[in-house]
């Protein structure tokens, strides 16, 4: 695109583009002269060129105007000037999409199709672009003839046009299979390739026919044909899940010895991308790519390195053989090739080569574009997690890169890389924080600065020397814009709250901030100073360290509601639904580039899901007065997905009730369901108080029915299993029209049991400083017990299960077990239904008989402690 623009500019300078500044209306006006008789071919040709130019510039031409111009163009058929005629064909093809009644030129084109040799190919292409389905019948015979034609241009034109027609309707092209089959063995490479394309398009849903098409061992003339064959074969292997022992694989492998480089590369690429291949299968492909690495052609080198780079993610061992060749490419004049070579080496290399490679990269880092720099950073990121011991070299390198020039995306990638390294590797923490501190000294991106300040506030106080970070942070307060200053103020407050010896100094600093010119900064400073001066641990941890834990959307709605109905009572924070903790943290991060791009969207969904449900429930009048929604579970399937009715259950927990929402889909097109309810057999203590039916449930339109269950009055009784039966009135109906019969009959359908677990009663809450919260809740309601989890064989498995049963948020990254350890402590935090804080500490130890766990629960309510302590049992 850039080069195109530049070309245009150059043209302008040198005499100018004659079509530059063309006006659509002027051109259309001019198109009227096409109607003049006698025809002046040169003038008309010029006008048509202009018309084509503006269409191709993306100008939008109205249907009426286009039709007018189109009819004017049709009159040019009376001229036999070859250049003009070809322009007319082009014009027809372009206008066929925008003008009306384009079918009018059919007869003219059919005549040309049989006429002079030079017009035949273009006429066929134009004809196929104006034809509609009703006309196909009449041109079918001509197309057949054209495909079998001796002239390669005609045959190819017909084949390609048939392919385009086939995109609209599959049925149509089927008619030309025989003809295409006949010319697939044509002498002409182009015809052969196009015939093969058409055949593939027609047969793509017919596995057996495709198999025949590929396995027919014959010599092709065109290398493109081989490439297509290879792609088809690869797809077939994928579809069949056939491994390397299939006939098709042998075919692909044999293509590795073809004389055309294109075919060889295609084959290698196909083998590499197959899913279940062993290192042995890959070897020939990789060795071919290795040969390409030393090719004199830059395109081949680039293709080979790029493919090897991809292979390196999955099979680093297979690529190790190419290391020597890749090393040579590091010094390639083409920077793209060099970068890919290095990142590939980073993936395949061992710990000892890291230092050398990093030195190599830094030599030309300044010469490559940001895009490739990001690739390098991603490579380093994966190195960091692979070789934690090398963090020193890598960190220094990252810091170096941070200092260099670069765009926002690049800097962001580096900062994220450093942050993730800090989180994964405690040893790297100090160095990483130091680098980040240095970076924010001169950081032009507000977003990154605030992000780093937040991180400093969280991690800084827990380092051995927290005081050294304060200088960096306070510098921000003096030098930066309002948003960064505000973030810095919050960070300082966190230091003050966390480290008692620093509190005095922090208060002094914050007091200075109270004179700031920005409202937000002043407000924050005043607030923090006041909180800190109270010198009470619980207060500081609640208002400074833990932050806001309610859902922002929910808070907004609750406050709005509160202002609408003036009451004497104070606004109760507990009535606001809590923010659902995004589950992104539990995701495995193996491919840094991918997960980074997927994450943001997922977070958004997770955060707003509950708000969506709340809105949805408020729409049902019977459920509107239950209070605020405490928690909604994830949808749970209570039928198999392929059955007659597809039903998902969502459990909504309120303070005294649970609402079961059943989202039903009727997958039978000859039935209409009415009055659909779910009959629930309540567990002991629970009481079904209401059920709201779904009035009717037509085919394939989802509907919801709700069942309202009152929770037991006994506070410790919270779990239970409900047997569910779907009850409804069936009316048979016509599958086509959906018209139901008048009379129906009652029917029922047994669903899977729905379980209410402890996890449904708690909401995950992140406590950044678990120890402080633990002390704050205090030991009054502490319960402790020891369990032996004999079914678990690893700590990870045990942790996963505990989190699932209790449903609390793991804090301080305690859900990740450092490698090789046999004991671990898991911290979980959350809020129990009714707004009671709940904290769990689980000490786990692995021994020969399984995992032993000492579970300690603290809560602000004795019943809650009891419930949680029994959850695992």
Place of tokens 């198109």: 31
Among positions 107, 169, 328, 643, the unique one binding other proteins when judged by CB under 8 A: 107
For the bound state, the minimum distance from the C-beta of residue 49 to other proteins, rounded and expressed in Å, comes to: 20
SS3 802: helix
- Tokens (6 digits) for 181: 């089959």
For the bound state, the minimum distance from the C-beta of residue 139 to other proteins, rounded and expressed in Å, comes to: 9
Q: Report d(CA 169, CA 306) in Å as an integer.
A: 37
Instruction: Specify the residue, 89 or 410, whose C-beta has the smaller distance to other proteins.
Output: 89
Instruction: Specify the residue, 110 or 483, whose C-beta has the smaller distance to other proteins.
Output: 110
CA–CA–CA angle 365, 367, 400 (5° rounding)? 30
Count interface residues toward other proteins (CB under 8 A). 19
Give the contact letters, 60-89, x = binds to other proteins (CB under 8 A), - = no: -----------x--xx-xx-----------
300 forms part of the interface with other proteins (CB under 8 A): no
Among positions 9, 97, 111, 257, the unique one binding other proteins when judged by CB under 8 A: 111
Instruction: Specify the residue, 117 or 570, whose C-beta has the smaller distance to other proteins.
Output: 117
Instruction: Specify the residue, 72 or 329, whose C-beta has the smaller distance to other proteins.
Output: 72
Q: Binding to other proteins (CB under 8 A): which residues in 770-809?
A: none
Residue 364 class from Cβ within 10 Å (0-12 exposed, 13-18 middle, 19+ buried)?
middle
103 forms part of the interface with other proteins (CB under 8 A): yes
Q: Report d(CA 628, CA 617) in Å as an integer.
A: 10
Q: Report d(CA 586, CA 201) in Å as an integer.
A: 43
Residue 106 near residue 143, CB atoms below 8 Å: no
Residue 872 near residue 855, CB atoms below 8 Å: yes
Q: Which residues contact 470 (CB under 8 A, 6 or more apart)?
A: 492, 495, 502, 505, 506, 509
Distances, alpha carbon 789 to alpha carbons 782, 786, 846, in Å: 22, 10, 10
For the bound state, the minimum distance from the C-beta of residue 18 to other proteins, rounded and expressed in Å, comes to: 22
For the bound state, the minimum distance from the C-beta of residue 78 to other proteins, rounded and expressed in Å, comes to: 5
Q: Report d(CA 328, CA 294) in Å as an integer.
A: 8
For the bound state, the minimum distance from the C-beta of residue 37 to other proteins, rounded and expressed in Å, comes to: 6
For the bound state, the minimum distance from the C-beta of residue 154 to other proteins, rounded and expressed in Å, comes to: 20
Radius of gyration of the chain (CA): 36
Q: Which residues contact 359 (CB under 8 A, 6 or more apart)?
A: none
Instruction: Specify the residue, 75 or 458, whose C-beta has the smaller distance to other proteins.
Output: 75
135 forms part of the interface with other proteins (CB under 8 A): yes
Note if the bond before 38 is cis, omega within 30 degrees. yes
Among positions 43, 49, 59, 108, the unique one binding other proteins when judged by CB under 8 A: 108
Among positions 27, 51, 69, 105, the unique one binding other proteins when judged by CB under 8 A: 105
Instruction: Specify the residue, 106 or 863, whose C-beta has the smaller distance to other proteins.
Output: 106
Among 679, 730, 672, 677, which Cα is nearest to 697's? 672
133 forms part of the interface with other proteins (CB under 8 A): no
Give the contact letters, 573-612, x = binds to other proteins (CB under 8 A), - = no: ----------------------------------------
Instruction: Specify the residue, 104 or 279, whose C-beta has the smaller distance to other proteins.
Output: 104
Q: Which residues contact 822 (CB under 8 A, 6 or more apart)?
A: 795, 845, 846, 847
Instruction: Specify the residue, 105 or 165, whose C-beta has the smaller distance to other proteins.
Output: 105
For the bound state, the minimum distance from the C-beta of residue 135 to other proteins, rounded and expressed in Å, comes to: 7
Q: Report d(CA 180, CA 176) in Å as an integer.
A: 6
Among 337, 342, 411, which Cα is nearest to 370's? 411
Among positions 106, 665, 669, 675, the unique one binding other proteins when judged by CB under 8 A: 106
98 forms part of the interface with other proteins (CB under 8 A): no
Among positions 26, 62, 83, 104, the unique one binding other proteins when judged by CB under 8 A: 104
Among positions 29, 133, 137, 138, the unique one binding other proteins when judged by CB under 8 A: 138
- Tokens (6 digits) for 384: 């960091």
Which range of residues in 99-107, 530-538, 660-668, 718-726 is near other proteins by CB under 8 A? 99-107
Instruction: Specify the residue, 28 or 361, whose C-beta has the smaller distance to other proteins.
Output: 28
Q: Binding to other proteins (CB under 8 A): which residues in 27-56?
A: 35, 37-38
Q: 104-113 contacts: CB < 8 A, separation 24 or more?
A: 104/71, 104/74, 105/74, 105/77, 105/130, 106/130, 106/131, 106/135, 106/139, 108/74, 108/77, 110/139, 110/142, 112/85, 113/142, 113/146
Instruction: Specify the residue, 102 or 155, whose C-beta has the smaller distance to other proteins.
Output: 102
Instruction: Specify the residue, 130 or 558, whose C-beta has the smaller distance to other proteins.
Output: 130
Instruction: Specify the residue, 103 or 552, whose C-beta has the smaller distance to other proteins.
Output: 103
Q: Which residues bind other proteins (CB under 8 A)?
A: 35, 37-38, 71, 74-75, 77-78, 101, 103-108, 110-111, 135, 138
């Amino acid at each position: 695109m850039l080069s195109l623009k530049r070309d245009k500019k150059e043209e302008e300078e040198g005499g100018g583009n004659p079509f530059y500044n063309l006006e659509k209306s002027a051109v259309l006006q001019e198109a009227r002269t096409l109607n003049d008789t006698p025809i002046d071919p040169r003038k008309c040709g010029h006008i048509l060129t202009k018309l084509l130019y503006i269409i191709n510039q993306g100008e939008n031409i109205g249907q009426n105007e286009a039709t007018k111009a189109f009819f004017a163009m049709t009159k040019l058929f009376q001229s036999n000037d070859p250049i003009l005629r070809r322009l007319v064909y082009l014009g027809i093809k372009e206008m066929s999409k925008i003008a009306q009644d384009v079918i009018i030129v059919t007869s003219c084109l059919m005549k040309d199709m049989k006429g002079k040799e030079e017009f035949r190919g273009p006429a066929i292409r134009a004809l196929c672009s104006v034809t509609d389905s009703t006309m196909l019948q009449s041109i079918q015979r001509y197309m057949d003839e054209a495909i079998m034609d001796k002239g390669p241009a005609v045959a190819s034109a017909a084949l390609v046009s048939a392919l385009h027609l086939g995109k609209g309707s599959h049925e149509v092209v089927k008619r030309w299979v025989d003809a295409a089959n006949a010319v697939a063995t044509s002498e002409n490479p182009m015809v052969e390739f196009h015939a093969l394309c058409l055949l593939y398009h027609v047969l793509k849903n017919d596995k057996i026919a495709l198999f025949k098409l590929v396995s027919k061992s014959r010599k092709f003339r065109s290398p493109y044909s081989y490439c297509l064959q290879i792609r088809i074969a690869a797809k077939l292997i994928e579809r069949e899940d056939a491994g390397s022992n299939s006939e098709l694989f042998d075919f692909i492998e044999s293509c590795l010895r073809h004389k055309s480089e294109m075919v060889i590369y295609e084959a290698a690429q196909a083998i590499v991308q197959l899913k279940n291949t062993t290192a042995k299968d890959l070897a020939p492909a990789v060795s071919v790519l290795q040969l390409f690495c030393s090719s004199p052609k830059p395109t081949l080198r680039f293709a080979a390195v790029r493919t090897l780079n991809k292979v390196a993610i999955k099979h680093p061992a297979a690529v190790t053989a190419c290391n020597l060749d890749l090393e040579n490419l590091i010094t390639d004049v083409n920077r793209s090739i060099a970068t890919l070579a290095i990142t590939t080496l980073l993936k395949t290399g061992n710990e000892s080569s890291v230092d050398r490679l990093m030195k190599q990269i830094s030599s030309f880092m300044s010469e490559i574009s940001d895009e490739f720099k990001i690739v390098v950073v991603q490579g380093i990121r994966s190195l960091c997690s692979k070789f934690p011991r090398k963090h020193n070299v890598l960190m220094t390198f990252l810091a170096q890169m941070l200092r260099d020039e670069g765009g926002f995306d690049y800097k962001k990638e580096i900062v994220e890389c450093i942050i993730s390294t800090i989180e994964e590797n405690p040893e790297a923490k100090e160095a990483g924080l130091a680098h980040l501190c240095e970076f924010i000294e001169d950081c032009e991106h507000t977003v990154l600065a605030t992000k780093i300040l937040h991180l400093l506030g969280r991690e800084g106080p827990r380092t051995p020397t927290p005081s050294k970070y304060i200088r960096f942070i306070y510098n921000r307060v003096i030098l930066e814009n309002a948003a960064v200053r505000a973030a810095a103020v919050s960070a300082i407050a966190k230091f003050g709250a966390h480290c008692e010896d620093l509190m005095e100094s922090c208060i002094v600093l914050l007091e200075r901030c109270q004179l700031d010119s920005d409202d937000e900064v002043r407000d924050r400073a005043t607030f923090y100073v006041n909180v800190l001066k109270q010198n009470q641990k619980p207060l500081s941890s609640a208002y400074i360290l833990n932050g806001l834990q309610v859902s922002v959307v929910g808070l907004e709605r609750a406050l709005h509601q509160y202002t609408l109905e003036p009451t004497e009572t104070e606004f109760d924070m507990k009535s606001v639904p809590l923010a659902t903790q995004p589950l992104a943290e539990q995701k495995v991060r193996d491919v840094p580039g991918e997960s980074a791009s997927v994450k943001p969207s997922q977070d958004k969904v997770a955060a707003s899901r509950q708000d969506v449900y709340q809105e949805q429930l408020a729409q049902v009048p019977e459920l509107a007065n239950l209070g605020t929604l405490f928690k909604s579970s994830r949808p749970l399937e209570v039928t198999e997905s392929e059955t007659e009715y597809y039903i998902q259950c969502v459990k909504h927990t309120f303070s005294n009730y649970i609402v079961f929402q059943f989202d039903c889909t009727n997958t039978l097109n000859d039935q209409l369901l009415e009055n659909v309810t779910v009959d629930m057999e309540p567990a002991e203590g629970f009481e079904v108080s209401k059920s709201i039916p779904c009035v009717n449930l037509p085919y394939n339109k989802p509907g919801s029915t709700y069942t309202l269950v009152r929770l037991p009055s006994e506070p410790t009784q919270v779990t239970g299993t409900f047997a569910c039966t779907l009850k409804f009135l069936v009316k048979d109906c016509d599958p086509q029209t959906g018209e139901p019969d008048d009379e129906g009959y009652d029917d029922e359908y047994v669903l899977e049991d729905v379980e209410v677990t402890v996890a449904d009663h708690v909401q995950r809450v992140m406590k950044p400083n678990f120890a402080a919260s633990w002390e704050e809740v205090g030991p009054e309601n502490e319960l402790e017990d020891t369990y032996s989890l004999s079914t678990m064989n690893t700590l990870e498995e045990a942790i996963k299960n505990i989190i699932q049963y209790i449903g609390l948020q793991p804090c301080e990254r305690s859900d990740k077990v450092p490698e090789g350890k046999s004991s671990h402590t898991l911290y979980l935090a959350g809020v129990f239904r009714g707004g009671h804080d709940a904290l769990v500490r689980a000490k786990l130890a692995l021994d020969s008989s399984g995992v032993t766990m000492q579970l300690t629960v603290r809560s602000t309510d004795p019943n809650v402690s009891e419930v949680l302590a029994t959850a695992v049992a």
